[in-house]
């Protein structure tokens, strides 16, 4: 799906570099006492509509689920390779307000720093970010312990190339590797050979475009790239009558281990983990939410148990 010529060569070099980086990181996990590794994909892909892109097709995703899940996997002792969309939610950093007044109001200049912004530096206003200190401590433990490796993508073709590279690098870990595919990946794209070179002009009238289907990556991932790994995909729907059937169809087609099925309107409180043998409905109560729990606590806890059983087979 990459452009021909120089662009294709550069993409191949970037993919090879990413594979080498993940492979080296993965080798170090067992020497640090970690038996299990998970690749968490997170955020939405971007599909350009022009060769010199001004307009894009975006998939809905803030990356919150992937970032929250990565935190839980780290707490459970996994090494986490986090493949995420640029500027989407990041583990631990999601405790910060988004750029804007809320973030600026949470900060203040230390005494001596008012004039010209020099001297005293910047500090967090008392009580402004109550969850930041423990999150920062957890991030530094993960970083300093080599448990967290981050890979960034924006465009669809970047994501697909990095997923393939990471999968090949993690394949030697066998059943101790998990793939937690929470990214919202576009189903459609325009091949570079069919893109207009320049910005589409509104003066030309209503826009009509034809998009091709994106090749499904689950099939080669499960069959060729990491055939012994524990693989979880996600299914998001808006129609409740379609959800479980679509999840079961995916399991039958791709022969992986589990699908986390959820509806758009209730995705933060209810999910169903579907396997070929079972359906486990996970619900976050209002009391649990008030205590600071998130649905990802339940998802990761459930899948961790299944992964242990899978490794023991």
22-71 residue pLDDT tens: 999 999 998 999 999 999 999 999 999 999 999 999 988 999 999 999 99
pLDDT band (50, 70, 90) for residue 4: very low
Cβ–Cβ < 8 Å for 153, 85: yes
Cα-Cα-Cα-Cα torsion 275, 280, 281, 286, nearest 10 degrees, comes to -130
Query: Percentage of residues in the chain with pLDDT exceeding 70?
Result: 94
In a domain, residue 104? The reply is no
In a domain, residue 166? The reply is yes
Is the pLDDT at 195 greater than 70? The verdict is: yes
CATH number of the domain within which 45 lies: 3.40.50.10300
Is the pLDDT at 273 greater than 80? The verdict is: yes
Backbone angles phi, psi at 291, to 5 degrees: -85, 0
Spatial separation of the C-alpha atoms in residues 264 and 153, rounded to whole Å: 24
Domain count, the chain: 1
Cβ–Cβ < 8 Å for 19, 163: no
In a domain, residue 135? The reply is yes
276-312 pLDDT, tens digit per residue, is 999 999 999 999 999 999 999 999 999 999 999 999 9
Residue with tokens 């230390």: 110
Task: From residue 76, give the alpha-carbon distance in Å to each of 2, 73, 121, 208, 258.
Answer: 37, 5, 36, 48, 19
In a domain, residue 119? The reply is no
In a domain, residue 182? The reply is yes
Hey, is 102 helix, strand or coil?
helix
In a domain, residue 113? The reply is no
Cβ–Cβ < 8 Å for 231, 175: no
Residues 6+ apart with CB under 8 A from 184: 43, 44, 45, 59, 60, 61, 236
Structure tokens at 211: 């998009």
In a domain, residue 21? The reply is yes
Cα-Cα-Cα-Cα torsion 212, 217, 219, 220, nearest 10 degrees, comes to 120
Residue range 151-177: average pLDDT?
Answer: 97
Residues spanned by the domain of 68: 6-96+125-200+208-312
In a domain, residue 116? The reply is no
Residue range 11-23: average pLDDT?
Answer: 92
| Reported pTM | 0.92
């Amino acid at each position: 799906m990459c452009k021909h010529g120089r662009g294709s060569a550069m993409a191949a070099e970037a993919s090879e570099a990413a594979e080498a980086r993940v492979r080296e990181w993965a080798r170090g996990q067992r020497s640090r006492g970690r038996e299990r590794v998970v690749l968490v994909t997170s955020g939405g892909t971007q599909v350009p509509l022009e060769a010199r892109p001004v307009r894009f097709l975006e998939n809905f995703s803030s990356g919150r689920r992937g970032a929250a899940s990565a935190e839980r996997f780290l707490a459970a002792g996994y090494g986490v390779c986090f493949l995420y969309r640029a500027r989407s939610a990041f583990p631990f950093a999601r405790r910060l307000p988004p750029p804007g007044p809320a973030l600026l109001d949470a900060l203040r200049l230390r005494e001596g720093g008012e004039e010209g912004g020099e001297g005293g530096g910047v500090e967090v206003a008392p009580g402004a970010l109550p969850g930041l200190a423990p999150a920062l401590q957890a991030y530094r433990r993960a970083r300093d312990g080599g448990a967290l490796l981050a890979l960034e993508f924006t465009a669809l073709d970047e994501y697909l190339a990095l997923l393939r590279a990471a999968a090949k690098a993690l394949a030697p870990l066998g059943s101790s590797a998990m793939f937690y595919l929470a990214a919202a990946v576009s189903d459609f794209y325009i091949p570079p050979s069919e893109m207009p070179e320049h910005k589409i002009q509104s003066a030309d009238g209503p826009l009509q475009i034809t998009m091709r289907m994106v090749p499904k990556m689950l099939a080669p991932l499960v069959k060729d790239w990491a055939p012994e790994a524990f693989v979880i995909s996600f299914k998001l729907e808006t129609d409740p009558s379609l959800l479980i059937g679509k999840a079961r169809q995916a399991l039958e087609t791709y022969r992986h281990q589990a699908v986390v099925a959820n509806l758009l309107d209730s995705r933060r409180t209810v999910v169903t983990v579907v396997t070929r043998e079972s359906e486990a409905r996970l619900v976050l109560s209002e009391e649990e939410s008030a205590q600071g729990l998130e649905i990802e606590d339940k998802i990761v806890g459930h899948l961790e148990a299944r992964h242990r059983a899978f490794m023991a087979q």
